Every structure is written in C-alpha cells, then in structure tokens.
Chains A and B, each alone.
Chain A
Amino acid sequence: MTTLAADKNHTSNGSRRDFLYVATGTAATVGSALAVWPLIDQMNPSEDVLALASTEIDLTSIAIGQAITIVWRGKPVFVRRRTSEEIALAAHTDLEELPDPQLDSERVQRAEWLVLVGICTHLGCIPLGQKGTHPRGEWGGWFCPCHGSHYDTSGRVRKGPAPQNLSVPPYKFITDTTIRIG
C-alpha cells in the first residue's frame, strides 16, 4: 500500500520520478540503438565482397576503335581505345553544351584509353555502344536503351534524363599495357 500512497503524492516527488523515467527511457533508447546497429550493418558489403575490390586488365589485345567490358566489384567497366577522331571530338566540345560540364582531359589519364563505369547515371541500366552493332547515340559514345540517354566519346551525358556523366572508376596504369581498377 505504501507504493500507492507514493503514487498519489506524485506531484510532490515529481522531479525525482521524472528523472527516473527519463533516465530509464534514455538508457533503453541508447541500448536499443546500439543493439540494432549490428542488425543493420550485416546487410552492408561483407569482407569477402570488399576483398574483390580491385581488378587488373591487360590492354594488349584491344585494337584502336575497339572496346571491352570487364567486371569490377560486380559492375561492368567499359574500356574503349578511342580513335583520333573520337579523341578530337571529345576534346573540342564546348563545355556550355554539357549538362554536367567536365573536360575530357579530366576524365582520362592517357587520351587513347577511356575507362568508365558502364552504368547509366539515370536509373542504373547498362548503356549500349560497346559492340560495333550497337547504337552509339547521337554523339558517337553510348546510348542507354532504358530511357534514351546519350553519352559522347568521353562518356559525358549530352541528352536524355541522366543527370551526370558516366563515372570514371579509380584506376592506375601499372605498365603501359596493364591497368588496375580499384
């Protein structure tokens, strides 16, 4: 019965009881948040997936004007050996015309080799343009069949709903004929 009596005097003990309520609630909230984090983080890429983060490519077999697609972190990476016309076209583009202005020289390490993540920046489809039979869009680069985005010979978006240029993955020339992506 003493507990019930204390309950009636609630207002006179208000500050102490409020403190206990808030302290209990805070401890429970912080504890739950800490406990929930592992349950969320387990869905992030695991260590074995992260271990496959870099890929090496041998460039010797790629002729001028030819392109290959390789897989890096499960994504397609386009490697195109550009012709001199394509390089010239990319280099002499007026930046004013571009939705996402960027110089071709900022997008390549060696002008002949264009390396791009082959995923349309609109909604993630893989643009066409890697094979001779593919449509390459109005600017001679790539064309995304899903929603009609056109990319130029530097992989920059020129027309269509894509907001950004095709992204350039981190890569390095290990030798003159080998690059490592990632």
Chain B
Amino acid sequence: MQHNGFKSSNRIVQWIEYRLPIFSFLDQQVGTQYQAPKNLNYLWNFGSLAGIALIIQIVTGIVLAMHYVPHGDMAFDSVERIMRDVNYGWLIRYIHANGASMFFAAVYIHIFRGLYYGSYKFPRELLWMLGLVIFVLMMATAFMGYVLPWGQMSYWAATVITNLFSAIPWAGQSLTEWLWGGFVVGTPTLTRFYSLHYLIPFVIAGLVILHIWALHVHKSNNPLGVEVKGPKDTIAFHPYYTIKDLFSLGIFLAIFGFWVFYFPNYLGHPDNYIPANPLQTPPHIVPEWYLLPFYAILRAIPSKLGGVIAMGASLAILFLVPWLDTSRIRSGTFRPIFKQFYWLLVADVLVLGYVGSQPPEGIFIHLGRIATAYYFVHFLLILPIVGWLERPKPIPSSISESEAGTTQEASGRSETGT
C-alpha cells in the first residue's frame, strides 16, 4: 500500500488510508515527508508550545464550564465551589488561569521571533496577519475569561474595558449599553461574555489551522532567512522536530507546573477574591501582565478617544509591518543596524509593560508617553528608513553552505557551490 510516499504494513491503517488518506496527509504535514529547514533554533519551538497551550486551555475550560454558573448572584460562589468542593477543581482552575499566562508568554516569544528573523516578509505576509488575528482574539478571550469569576477585579476590568467604546463619538453611549445589556455591567454582560469566552477559542483553533496551512505552503522561515534551495537544506519534521518540540514541551510544562503548584495566584490580583461590588472600585486597577503594554499606551494619551485610538493603532500597525519594513533581507542576523533597534523595541515594550503596572502619576506619565511615542516611531520611521539606509552583511547562498562553513569548514563547500 503506497499513497503519496506513505507506506504502512498495518491492515487497519491501510483500510482507513484507502478510504480517507489521513495518515499520508499527516505524514506529509507533520511527519516524515514534511521537510523543514534543518537550521531552526529553539525559538522555532514556540509555535507548537502555543498550540499545546491552546489545547490545554480548551480542555480545562470545557471542564470548568461543567461547574461554573454564569449569573451575577452565583458566579463568584460557583468559582469558590470549584476551588473547595469539586474534585481537583483547584488544580483545573489554576491550570486554566496560569495557562493563559503561559499561552501569552509562548505567543509573545513567537511574535518577537518573527519580528527579529523577518518571518513576516514575502511570501509570509498572510501567515503573519493570521497570527495577529489570533493574538487579538486571544486578548479578547483572556479579558472575557478574567471577568467570569466576578470578583472586584473582574467587575472593574469589565467596566473599564467596555467603557473604552464609550469614547466613540455620538454612538458611544448606546454602543456600551448594547455591550452591557443594561446601564452598567451586570448579569447580562456576564452571560454574553461567558458565551463568547467559550466560542472564541474554537474560532482561534480554526485560525490556527489556517495559520499552519499558510505556514506549510512556503514552510518555516529560518534563522538565516534564506529560502530552502533543496534537500540539502532540510530534514524531516518527524522524528527530528517532533522530538525537539517534545523536549521543549517538557521544559514548558515544568515552568507551567512551577506556577500552578507553587505560585498559583502570583500572576493574579488578591482583590479578585472579593466579590464584585458595583458601588466600590478597588484603589489600584490593572489588567493581567500580558495586556499591560497596551494598557500603558491607552493611558499615555491625555484624551479619552485619543487613548483608545492609540491602543487600537498599536495593534493595527503590526498588520502593516510586512510593508513598513523596506529591507529585503529577512534575518536580523545580517542587519547590524536593524538588530540594535530591534532590541530597543523589546526594551520599549518591557518599559511600557512596567509603566502599565504602575499608578498613572509622577514620572510614569512621562515615561509612558515617551515609550508610546517610541513604539510608533519604531514602526513608522525606523523600520522603513533603516531598510533603505542599512548595508547588510553578506548573505550565505543557502542554508547548507552556511552550515558547512561553520561546522565542517572546507568539506562541503565545493559540492554546495554558489
């Protein structure tokens, strides 16, 4: 039995394969037939880690939904019941809550990997944009999930974020009331957030499939940013990258377990263990860490509508990166000037995150404004201008040539040619 290079001696596999060629499909997409660049470093492991994090969130989320009650009077108590009474409820909820952080951590590294190695450039622009849509949906899902426990932070996060829409001129007030299903955040808001919090992850899962589909058309970028030229440049996905992904998964789960079992509430806020009170706002209200840079941009603009626009623009601008970066060289490795600005951007986003966590007073106002301005300057000015002016380092003609040069010195050079 042979179908597109796939062989199996197992009769059941053959029976299924003849009717639905799923085994050969998997073999071609994530198996021995899928040829991936042979020089991928560990930064290329975060896509699979993010995918596994999504699966963990969906599985634990479905389980939590079996016990959670989406009603303003019962939501908080039902979460406490999960923590105290449901068998392993504490474990499942802590995995879900910290899993969001682990998911974002993996995705942020994944995005910054793409920014450094120019993974968004031709012909992977759509791949990049699909990833950004996933990222935006993740933020919406995480926010709505944070509202569900119906503690003080939940309630006031819902109030603050939905009020962003009230900044829209003329329609703002009626739009927010439409979002709330009332005149304030209440049970109608909670139930729709619950419904969407359950739905969107499956939309994300669908987009992940498109993301992988688009990835497999032109295959992974690689640390050199040089396209694969032939079989010498690649190795089979299985077993080489499956085992590498499995190894990084082990480390990922160990860090995950560290949070879940030793500091399960470190990334949350104690105020969320106080039931929601619509008549009192907590003294210091901040979002979860993964939303802090955007929160800082929101607060940096001293105008309600301006802040909302700036925050939206900080995300929208990422969609334009494939065209704002004017350099044809993909990998930052060969771009001495870009490389320095890249690390400045990383530092800038970290500063924004720190500013977002601090109360909006004193030096943090100025710091937030400078960091916000620099964020936009990086994408709108530095990225296009550096691309024009920079003189890149010499690019190896192929992956195997570069590998031969660094690891085997003279041997491979004559065969691989130019």
> Chain A interface (Cβ within 8 Å of chain B)?
3-4, 24, 28, 37-39, 41-44, 46-49
Contact = CB atoms under 8 A, between A and B. Distances in A.
Given A42-B63, A48-B81, 7 more contacts: A38-B92, A41-B87, A42-B88, A46-B67, A47-B86, A48-B85, A49-B85
B81 A41 contact: no
Nearest to A50: B85
A14 to B, nearest CB: 15
B402 to A, nearest CB: 14
A43 B92 CA distance: 12
Contacts of A43: 66
B59 A42 contact: no
B80 to A, nearest CB: 10
A38 B66 contact: no
A42 B240 contact: no
A47 B240 contact: no
Contact of B92 (A3, A42, A46, A47): A42
B175 interface: no
A46 B59 contact: no
Contact of B85 (A24, A37, A46): A46
Main secondary structure of the interface of B (DSSP, over half): helix
What secondary structure prevails in chain A residues at the interface with B? helix
Contacts of A44: 87
Contacts of B60: 39
A41 B84 contact: no
Nearest to B243: A24
Contact of A39 (B67, B85, B92, B240): B92
Given A3-B240, A39-B59, A42-B66, A47 B85 contact: yes
A42 B85 contact: no
B: contact size bracket: 10 to 19
Contact of B86 (A3, A4, A28, A42): A42
A47 B88 contact: no
27 contacts: A3-B235, A3-B240, A4-B235, A24-B246, A28-B246, A38-B87, A38-B91, A39-B60, A39-B63, A39-B88, A41-B87, A41-B88, A42-B63, A42-B87, A42-B88, A42-B89, A42-B92, A44-B87, A46-B67, A46-B81, A46-B85, A46-B86, A46-B87, A46-B89, A47-B87, A48-B84, A48-B85
A170 to B, nearest CB: 23
Interface string B63-95: 100110000000000000100111111011000
Interface string B199-238: 0000000000000000000000000000000000001000
Contacts of A37: 88
Contacts of B246: 24, 28
Contacts of A46: 67, 81, 85-87, 89
A177 B89 CA distance: 41
Interface of B: 59-60, 63, 66-67, 81, 84-89, 91-92, 235, 240, 246
A42 B88 CA distance: 6
B232 to A, nearest CB: 9
A37 B91 CA distance: 11
A43 B64 CA distance: 10
Nearest to B400: A1
A3 B236 CA distance: 11
B329 to A, nearest CB: 28
A41 B85 CA distance: 12
Nearest to B95: A38
Which 10 A-B residue pairings sit nearest by Cβ, starting from the closest?
A38-B88, A47-B85, A48-B85, A46-B85, A41-B87, A46-B86, A42-B87, A38-B91, A44-B87, A42-B88
Nearest to A7: B239
Contacts of B235: 3-4
B250 to A, nearest CB: 9
